[in-house]
Amino acid sequence: MKLIDGKAVAAEIKKEIAEEVSQIIASGGKRPHLAAVLVGHDGGSETYVANKVRSCEEVGFQSTLIRYEEDVTEAELLACVNRLNDDPDIDGFIVQLPLPQHISEEKITEAIDYRKDVDGFHPVNVGRMSLGMPCFLSATPAGIVELFKRYKIETKGRHCVVLGRSNIVGKPVSVLMMQKGNPGDCTVTVCHSRTKNISEICLQADIIIAALGVPGFLKGDMVKEGAVVIDVGTTRLPSDKTKSGFRLAGDVLFDEVAPKCAWITPVPGGVGPMTIVSLLKNTLLAGKKEIYSQ
């Protein structure tokens, strides 16, 4: 079994981005600027957004954090999105999800200018991704694909089973794994909460991407020898062993599954760090106006 070290790969890519930012600044260009909008005080969202802002600083980006209380109205949030859309200094921005019940995530996502949608959640970016056109790829699927690329793990012709059909991970990663090229060219099966015989399907998989959000869902007896397992789960469970009072639990029962794998990602330190790096890559592209010219 070999460990896919997302933390190390993410550090390497951050270095590459930081070097590129230095070159941009040295040649008189503009420092890329990411804004993040955070509503309320959900612990997970606070941590993710703080990491995103810190990572921006590490690579030399400018970052702006805009906070709203839980009771912000949809109209106020839409006005904020429109201000960011119109602000020429902001290259890209994200609105951290989930949003409170009284705000439509769909409406907010659609209101974001797709040319600044560095999360890759806008229907234009999702559609262009499905068509294999240049776009902002959503961060977690892009991070997973990057791991296959950097570790030179063969995907062509292999059976990839995706567990989960979320808009953020399951759906887009299934499209990326089946697209033409490398990584890609997989035969993809998507399983979800209504799928029958998940164990039998997983046992036929060369690659399993687990993105259900169910801690320890994938057990040792569901994985064939030599499989590649990517664990996207990041459920926060209470713990008295950590300073923060919680620990991150993956969807894979690591101790059972790892001995059977050719490659496996740990939680934490696997897909998580790659997600942030993908966001940084998109922000750099947004700053350079490389995908959309204006």
Q: Rule CB under 6 A: choose which of 13, 35, 80, 94 binds ligand GUN.
A: 94
Q: What is the smallest separation between the CB atom of 1 and ligand GUN, expressed in angstroms?
A: 28
Q: What is the dihedral of CA 239, 240, 245, 247, to 10 degrees?
A: -30
Q: Cα separation of 65 and 167, whole Å?
A: 25
Q: What is the dihedral of CA 155, 156, 161, 164, to 10 degrees?
A: 70
For the chain, list the strands marked E by DSSP.
2-3, 33-39, 62-68, 92-95, 159-163, 187-191, 207-210, 227-231, 235-238, 246-249, 261-264
* List 5, 14, 96, 231, catalytic entry: 96
Q: Which of the ranges 60-68, 76-84, 93-101, 215-223 carries the binding residues for ligand GUN, by CB under 6 A? A: 93-101
Q: What is the smallest separation between the CB atom of 235 and ligand GUN, expressed in angstroms?
A: 12
* List 52, 116, 171, 281, catalytic entry: 52
Residues near 294 by beta carbon (within 8 Å), at least 6 away in sequence: 115
The residue among 21 and 139 lying less far from ligand GUN, judged by its C-beta, is 139
**Taking CB under 6 A as the criterion, which residues in 151-190 touch ligand GUN?**
168
Give the angle 168-170-173 at the CA atoms, nearest 5°: 90
The residue among 2 and 83 lying less far from ligand GUN, judged by its C-beta, is 83
* Per-residue H/E/C for 168-233: CCHHHHHHHHHCCCCCCCCEEEEECCCCCCHHHHHHCCCEEEECCCCCCCECHHHCCCCEEEEECC
Q: Is 251 a catalytic residue?
A: no
Q: Rule CB under 6 A: choose which of 117, 119, 146, 231 binds ligand GUN.
A: 119
Q: What is the smallest separation between the CB atom of 174 and ligand GUN, expressed in angstroms?
A: 17
Q: What is the smallest separation between the CB atom of 44 and ligand GUN, expressed in angstroms?
A: 8
Q: Is 96 a catalytic residue?
A: yes
Q: Rule CB under 6 A: choose which of 139, 186, 227, 267 binds ligand GUN.
A: 139
* List 119, 206, 231, 251, catalytic entry: 119
The residue among 17 and 274 lying less far from ligand GUN, judged by its C-beta, is 274
* Under rule CB under 6 A, residue 207 binds ligand GUN: no
Name the 3-class secondary structure at 271: helix
Q: Which of the ranges 23-31, 73-81, 92-100, 283-291 carries the binding residues for ligand GUN, by CB under 6 A? A: 92-100
The total number of residues shown for the chain amounts to 294
Q: Which residue, judged by CB position, is nearest to ligand GUN in the bound state?
A: 97
Q: Cα separation of 170 and 39, whole Å?
A: 25
Q: Is 231 a catalytic residue?
A: no
* Catalytic positions, written as ranges: 52, 96, 119
Residues in touch with ligand GUN (CB under 6 A): 94-97, 119, 139, 168
